[in-house]
Structure 1
Amino acid sequence: MPKLVHTADIHLGSKYSGLGRAGSRMRNYQKRSFKAIIDAVLARQADALIIAGDLFDSPLVSSSTYRFVAEQISRLGEIPAIVIPGTHDPANSNAIWESLKKESQSTNLHLILEPEQSPLTLAGLDIVFWVIPNLNANSALSPIPKLTDRTLGKYHVAIAHGSATIGDLSGGMDFPFMESDIREAGFDYVALGHWHSFKQIGQSNAYYCGSSENTKFGLGDAGNILIVDLDESGVRVEKVKVGMTNWHDLSLSTGIVKSPGDILKELEAYAGDANLMRCRIIGPQLTGINFDIEQIEKELDDQFCFIQIADETSADEILKIVPTYSAFTITGQFVKNIKERMVSATPEMKEVLEESLKLGCRLLAGEKVDK
């Protein structure tokens, strides 16, 4: 019974824009998760490793990254590693694949960069691999190949990098395909890449494994590989975690957190070297309370891989107490003026005015504000 390990969208060399100095930490975690993939292939005694596109994030990765991949692939010994290009590392990015070939002396590395290389058959493995490689970064053509000769082997596996068209979700120019394309092709398994979360396409035998390491907040079920067992009765797919990081997207209401200490207590529960946190403070702004977001971030910085806190509280609470401000005071005149302007303000301008109101009230109360 053949056993495959299916991975994709590893994106080695990602910039992780927006994470600041945590970007280098994430690139290190990417490499650690790739090493974990190789460990899983060996531990499960798999017959082949499939990398369904976007092994690299761009042609601009370092030579040490190519060398790292070559070293890890060589650990597999005789176990074949079948790699296809994706939208970030298409076949026409010669610099990527020539650099990898230069670093790798492994005979078990099989790069499918030309249509003529499909179907691929390997000695001792009764599986035929079918591929339409991504020659460019974008295309309106389906990446699902045609199974033209079932007599070539016992099992037939397609490897494709593209975007499924499901309901109102269109694949656009990201190598789109329909679930019907998969059903009509008749493969025993379809190893998909491009979507960064785990997903089975309908009730078919086509799966996105998702990226091996999370790539952004709100992504969903990422950080997995799939262990695929083929036999006469069908296919069995097991999801296995290899990702190292945990991404938390949290909203804290001022109904719960009423001081900087409350925020610290809530966030410390999520602390960890491999944890990334994006937190929003929401709800009405509490009068007389300064959360001092920058200071909280500084105090928690060494407890997270990355942390970002945003004060998204509204000025509703201040506006409710406008009558308590004397019209003969500077503060009263300031609040009254802002409130009047907010009545006819656009949504964008209203946000600006709310921030002005919060900041102005703090300054007029004698608070020192670093802005």
Structure 2
Amino acid sequence: MRFIHSADWQIGKVFKQFGVKEEALRQARLGAVERLGQLARTHGVAHVLVAGDVYDSEAPNPITLREPIERIKLFPDIQWHLLPGNHDPHRPEGIWDRLAKLGLPGHVHLHLSPVVVPLGDGAFLMPAPLCRKTEYDDVTMWMDSAPTPAGAVRIGLAHGSIVNFGQEGEASNPIDPARPSRAGLDYLALGDWHRTMQVGPCVWYSGTPEPDRAGRQEAGTALLVDIAGAGAPPAVTPLATGTYRWITRSERVADVEAGADLDQRLRAEPDLAHTIVRLKLEGALSIAAAADLQRRLVDLEAAAFHLEVDQTELVVRPTEADLEMIDFDGVLARAADRLKGTCDDPAQSPDRRRHAKEALVDLFVRVASKNGKEAA
């Protein structure tokens, strides 16, 4: 039995913080659905299992409701299995009833009840849909007694958090990590955790096919799963599905050379134009080095899809050479001294110190530029 395991499409997700670039990220999530279909064809897969959170909310507008289905219609040779998650639980007259009323094609299967579903080739699917955002009981428990023929390949499909797995899941819906052994499952396909991760011999989170948050999954992924037969260990292969990468980096910079090295390493990232970068900087720089770093960051912001920089732990400490550069008439030097005092004063608010640092660097850049023109 071969299939693709995906989850957490969250179609309709909002990215307001990206301004005019929001639409590109929204469209990328729909593009990921098409890539899943293309990958299914490439790898000879008949079934794509989506372990919850197909949509980002319970009340998408009519266009958003139809968008993933229209992409799925492009692949009538693939069977698509959609499960309600905590973002889109199955409630009476809710999103899934709206979807069913559209008149879906026969290769789109909505799993709205915990019943055994034959997949062919001796395999059976056991879905565990969520009917509320938060369930306090393990919705996979029914699988323990779910009947299938002898020698059948048993596949569970669920959305939730493995018991004692941590707090990073989207909801508290508990799933017993021992469920495969209790229910005789050959594979348990999970959604909710936005990272590709194995949490048991045959228990996997697929991660999301298009990342949506810094500090989680860097690149979109789905899983190609091969099961030779009942009781055989699954062979799991990650498949790349995403358009955009989300990377988080923490860096210490102390001089111009460190800033240049950081610049070079970020530019070496694959496909920077489709990368969202969250950068945290710390260290102490001269004004000249800080000015050079700021110039590089502006260039990087233009090169990347999006660059977000946290400089709260980056300190500017003027050197004698810095102050000599500013001190061409004495007035600006006194201003620089006051700004330096604010930067170094722990009694000042973080915002005030940050503004003083930015003003000090700006002053240096303006004076250096003026001096350069005069020299010319």
**What residue is the counterpart of 2:190 in the other structure?**
192
CA distance in 1, matches of 2:242, 2:90: 27
Among residues 194, 209, 213, which one is paired with 1:212 in the alignment? Answer: 209
CA distance in 1, matches of 2:219, 2:92: 26
Question: Is 1:238 matched with 2:242?
Answer: no
CA distance in 2, matches of 1:245, 1:84: 25
1:128-156 superposed Cα distances (whole Å, 9 cap, x missing partner): 22122100111222132333144446111
Indicate how the Cα distance of structure 1 residues 352 and 127 shifts in structure 2: closer, same or farther if over 3 A, else same: same
**Offset at residue 362 of structure 1 (A):** 5.1
Per mean C-alpha deviation after superposition, the further-off stretch among 303-312 and 182-191 is: 303-312
1:244-274 superposed Cα distances (whole Å, 9 cap, x missing partner): 2222323443325469877765544445332
Aligned partner letter, 2:145:
T
Between the aligned residues of both structures, percent identity stands at 21
Question: Is 1:141 matched with 2:145?
Answer: no
Contact 2:317/2:340 (CA < 8 Å) preserved in 1? no
Indicate how the Cα distance of structure 1 residues 175 and 320 shifts in structure 2: closer, same or farther if over 3 A, else same: farther
Indicate how the Cα distance of structure 1 residues 239 and 338 shifts in structure 2: closer, same or farther if over 3 A, else same: closer
Count of residue pairs brought into register by the alignment:
356
**What residue is the counterpart of 1:18 in the other structure?**
17
Superposition pairs of residues 79-98 of structure 1, within 5 angstroms: 79-92=78-91, 94-98=93-97
Superposition pairs of residues 93-242 of structure 1, within 5 angstroms: 94-115=93-114, 118-122=115-119, 124-146=120-142, 147-152=144-149, 154-166=152-164, 174-202=172-200, 204-220=201-217, 222-230=219-227, 231-232=229-230, 233-242=232-241
Indicate how the Cα distance of structure 1 residues 340 and 307 shifts in structure 2: closer, same or farther if over 3 A, else same: closer
**What residue is the counterpart of 1:334 in the other structure?**
338
CA distance in 1, matches of 2:345, 2:337: 12
CA distance in 2, matches of 1:366, 1:75: 55
Contact 1:159/1:190 (CA < 8 Å) preserved in 2? yes
Indicate how the Cα distance of structure 1 residues 5 and 168 shifts in structure 2: closer, same or farther if over 3 A, else same: closer
1:56-108 superposed Cα distances (whole Å, 9 cap, x missing partner): 11134343343332233333335422111001111127442244334453112
1:254-313 superposed Cα distances (whole Å, 9 cap, x missing partner): 325469877765544445332222233421132345538887666445533222234335
Per mean C-alpha deviation after superposition, the further-off stretch among 171-180 and 272-281 is: 171-180
Per mean C-alpha deviation after superposition, the further-off stretch among 330-339 and 34-43 is: 330-339
Please give the secondary structure, in 2, of the residue aligned with 1:183: helix
CA distance in 1, matches of 2:256, 2:99: 51
CA distance in 2, matches of 1:125, 1:355: 64
Please give the secondary structure, in 2, of the residue aligned with 1:315: strand
**Offset at residue 240 of structure 1 (A):** 1.2
Please give the secondary structure, in 1, of the residue aligned with 2:274: strand
Please give the secondary structure, in 1, of the residue aligned with 2:96: helix
Contact 1:7/1:211 (CA < 8 Å) preserved in 2? yes
Indicate how the Cα distance of structure 1 residues 364 and 274 shifts in structure 2: closer, same or farther if over 3 A, else same: closer
CA distance in 2, matches of 1:307, 1:170: 24
Contact 1:140/1:172 (CA < 8 Å) preserved in 2? no
Question: Is 1:54 matched with 2:53?
Answer: yes
**What residue is the counterpart of 2:252 in the other structure?**
253
1:102-130 superposed Cα distances (whole Å, 9 cap, x missing partner): 44531121111234xx12235x4422221
Contact 1:197/1:222 (CA < 8 Å) preserved in 2? no
Contact 2:37/2:75 (CA < 8 Å) preserved in 1? yes
Aligned partner letter, 1:284:
A
TM (norm. structure 2) is: 0.79
